[in-house]
């Protein structure tokens, strides 16, 4: 999966949700019953206030069922996360003790199968406790049917949630976000020649074209760690590159180089290739690190798999 980035800032998730809700409200005649309450929400509104509005939207039928389902479930998930420190703090403390005993550096994540047995069991207990907390919050906030679906048919719950998320944000890599399909295919071909050393999200890339000459910067997007002692840490994934595989992508290679230090501050090392790709003149720089302003392309839950 490839994430396309440019130099323009992206709207925040909240702004994208509000833009979609605004479009729905403006298309309705008369205005939906939830419109006034929604229009009064602001940055300082509590999650509970916002949830009441989202539940009104869910009941109104103005949005597809999956979309309003996701709105409500996601916000209750966020509320449950606020309670996690109090209700699940003991688990995190015990996991932190194990990490310290094994000299587990801050920002690291044990690869699958390498963590101590006691730690794995603790993570499993934490996951079950979290699921119970989330289901209880669903019931407490008046969504017993959601709680039942979550407990009895997790696959359907996840399917509805993902369908609803895509209503607001689209799929992970919508074709319409890429000016030319060949660019996405180009980046995917580069990705096929990369092997991740740790959890790795989508590639990001930025590009510019002038008189038929393409300059493309490609990089691994950062990974944000969620849960436990590393919560909130943003790390760069390690990876190896098949250099001969990269070379073979091009019909003609004019220059092929590696820079141990970037030419500009903060760039980091990169591999550069200049040549012809599918009849286009291309200059690619494959960076070890993402630009400083790049948002995480993946959230890695070190405790459990999140929705």
Over residues 125-144, the mean pLDDT reads 92
* Nearest Cα residue to 248 out of 271, 273, 270: 273
Q: How far apart are CA 59 and CA 112, in angstroms?
A: 42
pTM of the predicted protein model: 0.54
The confidence score (pLDDT) of residue 111 equals: 46
In this model, does residue 105 exceed pLDDT 70? no
pLDDT at 113 over 70: no
Q: Higher model confidence: residue 265 or residue 277?
A: 277
Please say if the pLDDT value at position 275 is more than 70: yes
8 A C-beta contact, residue 57 and residue 38: yes
> Cβ contacts of residue 53 below 8 Å, gap of 6+?
34, 37, 38, 41
Pairing state of beta strands 203-210 and 194-196? unpaired
Cα distances (Å, whole numbers) of residue 164 to 62, 72, 73: 13, 10, 10
- What pLDDT score was predicted for residue 117? 72
Banded model confidence at residue 99, pLDDT cuts 50, 70, 90:
confident
Percent of the chain surpassing pLDDT 70? 83
Can you tell me the mean pLDDT for 71-86?
A: 89
Q: pLDDT confidence of 263, banded at 50, 70, 90?
A: low
Average the pLDDT over 284-296 and give the result. Answer: 86
Q: What is the pLDDT of residues 150-208, one digit of tens each?
A: 999 988 998 898 889 889 887 643 333 444 567 877 888 888 888 887 777 778 888 88
Q: How is residue 138 written in tokens?
A: 């669903």
């Amino acid at each position: 999966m490839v994430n396309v980035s440019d130099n323009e800032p992206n709207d925040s998730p909240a702004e994208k949700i509000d833009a979609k809700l605004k479009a729905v409200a403006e298309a309705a005649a008369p205005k939906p019953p939830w419109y006034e309450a929604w229009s009064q929400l602001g940055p300082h509104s509590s999650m509970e206030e916002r949830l009441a509005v989202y539940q009104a939207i869910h009941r109104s039928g103005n949005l597809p069922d999956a979309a309003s389902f996701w709105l409500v479930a996601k916000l209750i998930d966020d509320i449950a996360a606020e309670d996690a420190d109090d209700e699940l703090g003991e688990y995190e403390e015990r996991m932190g003790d194990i990490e310290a005993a094994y000299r587990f550096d801050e920002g690291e994540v044990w690869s699958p199968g390498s963590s101590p047995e006691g730690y794995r069991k603790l993570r499993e207990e934490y996951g079950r406790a979290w699921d119970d907390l989330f289901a209880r919050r669903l019931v407490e906030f008046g969504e017993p049917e959601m709680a039942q679906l979550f407990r009895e048919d997790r696959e359907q719950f996840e399917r509805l949630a993902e369908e609803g998320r895509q209503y607001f944000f689209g799929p992970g890599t919508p074709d319409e976000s890429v000016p030319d399909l060949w660019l996405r295919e180009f980046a995917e071909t580069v990705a096929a020649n990369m092997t991740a050393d740790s959890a790795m999200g989508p590639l990001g890339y930025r590009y510019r074209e002038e008189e038929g000459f393409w300059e493309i910067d490609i990089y691994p997007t950062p990974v944000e760690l969620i849960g436990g002692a590393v919560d909130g840490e943003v790390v760069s994934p390690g990876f190896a590159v098949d250099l001969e595989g990269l070379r073979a992508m091009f019909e003609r290679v004019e220059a092929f180089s590696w820079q141990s230090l970037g030419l500009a501050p903060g760039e980091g090392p990169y591999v550069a290739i200049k040549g012809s790709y599918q009849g286009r003149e291309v200059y690619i720089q494959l960076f070890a690190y993402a630009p400083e302003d790049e948002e995480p392309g993946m959230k890695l839950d070190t405790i459990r798999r999140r929705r």
